[in-house]
Structure formats: structure tokens, C-alpha cells
Amino acid sequence: MRKKVTVVGSGNVGATAAHWLASKEHADVVLIDIIEGVPQGKGLDLLQAMPIEKRDAYVLGTNDYADTANSDIVVITAGIPRKPGMSRDDLLNTNYKIMSDVVGKAVQYSPNCILIIVSNPLDAMAQAAYKQSGFSRNRVIGMAGILDSARFRAFIARELDVSVENVTAFVLGGHGDTMVPLPRYSTVAGIPITELMDKETIDRLVQRTRDGGAEIVKHLKTGSAYYAPSAAVAEMVESILKDKKKIVPCAAYLEGEYGINGLFIGVPCKLGSNGIEKIIEIKLTPEEQAALQKSADSVKELVSVIGV
């Protein structure tokens, strides 16, 4: 029996995630949204692409959560973007209500699934999903670290004119301005980038990574990134469904790791068939630890607004 992945939200991120998942033949995909017609149309379009791609993946668009029953993974991209005149707290509270509703329905039909949260503000929404679902912490994972690391990797590869396949990068912390890229743990063919670039260049790439999402929003004017975020989702899904046990940065609920308790923060995680199978603790310098704590404090502030 083929695996089944539900993607909640048929906007750019959700629909493109469905595209990656089906085109890589990772699973059958259910694309669900409250908007009538859009998931059905996009699902049908994707289904009709499969013979061309030579992929045996079934794609279904729907408005009915009954169609999502017994999903192995539920990816949640639903939520609204911040609009002019809307405060951060308004956005938080609105998306918290959407997340609570979506998680309740998804868990009702797929009580054994693993949840991957993509909705923003990501760390706070992952925390909301964790509390709403009642799942153990290994089954609720936030997607951010892979995306932020991929941005860092792309910039490093361009700067050094090397293959992206040679580049590894680690970005810890919350998904936002306080994320913590770690140059010491970022390498090209095993060589730390601190040996290949001067501090000024590294600092420039670190800042561009932090501003990665904002840079794209600035270009697009309306809307935000969706190709790379959805590709990051596909990598997480693959590692879980194929039990690959990849170590990748994800937002995970910490219970004392890195000196942080009771918050979702981006850290290196081993992803396998049980979701997060291990949180990897790496040694940080005092400066790096302070930056991570600052990031955690900013997540804590968001979480306190919605009371989770």
C-alpha cells in the first residue's frame, strides 16, 4: 500500500509541496482547502501530469477532511499573510484559530499521523499544533531549518563558485530575524567555510540568510517564497516515509536541550519513520549559545500572546 500525505492549504506553498511530493513519487497526495474548487482543480492538474512524469502518485483535491483519513503525514501550510494595518498580535491570533481548527480535524481522521507545520509564525504555530494535537513531541515538527540552511548553502556555493552538493550548512533558532547560522559547522567538502572566506564575507552571507524571506517578498511585492519552502517539506517527508534517518535542522519541542525548555526551536534532528527520532546537541560557543537564547526568547514572546 502506498503512503499517503495530506497537504492542508492549496496556496502557493501547499500546491507546490503537493507537486514536489507527487513528482518525486513519495506518496499519494490529498490537497485540502476551505476554498471550493481550487484544491480540486490543482489536484486534477497534478494528477494529469503524472503520466508525463511517469510517476504512479494519485493526487486528490478536496474540501472534505474525510478524504484525508489515515494519512501518514499531514503538512499544514494554512494561514493568512500579514495585511497592511494588521498588528503582529492580530496575525498571531488569527492564524492560531486557523491552526487549532485544522489540527483538530486532521487529527480526528489521522490519529497516527506525523504533523509537519509550515504556517507562520512557524515556531509559535508548531507549538499551537503540538498542544492542540496532544501528540508526543516526536510527531510534531516545524519546517524552517532546512529552508534557512538551503538559503545559506545557496549563497555559500555562489560565493565560492562550487557545487551546492559540496556545501553543508547549519542554521539554528527561530525562523525569523533571530535565526542563528553557524559558520563553524558550515562546510564545503568537509572544509569549514571559516577556512575559505574572510569574516566580512561570512557576515554578509549570514545576514542575507536572515533576510532570505524578506528579500523574496521585496521582489514579489505580493506573496512570499514557495519553491524552496515546499522543497524543504518534500525532503522532510522523504526522510520520514523512507526512514532515511537524515540529520536536518527542524523546529522541535525542547525539554532541556540547549538549556531551553517548553519551546519549539530550530535544532539538528534525526528524521525517521517515528518523526523526530533524536535531537542532536552540538557544542556552542558562549556567543552562539547567547544568540540561540535570544532567538528562544523571541519565540517565547510570540507563544505567550496565544497562551500556548
> For residue 260, which of 220, 294, 212, 210 has the smallest C-alpha distance?
294
SS3 147: helix
Q: Which of 19, 26, 175, 219 is catalytic?
A: 175
DSSP sequence for 152-180: HHHHHHHHHT--GGGEE--EEB-SSTT-E
How far from 123 is each of 110, 119, 120, 303, CA to CA, in Å?
23, 9, 8, 8
Question: What whole-number distance in Å separates Cα of residue 44 and Cα of residue 38?
Answer: 10
Q: Annotated catalytic, 26?
A: no
Give the helix, strand, coil percentages of the chain, each rounded to 5.
50, 20, 30
Beta bridge partners of 74: 6, 115
Q: Which helix (H) or strand (E) holds 276?
A: strand 275-279
- What amino acid positions are annotated as catalytic residues? 175
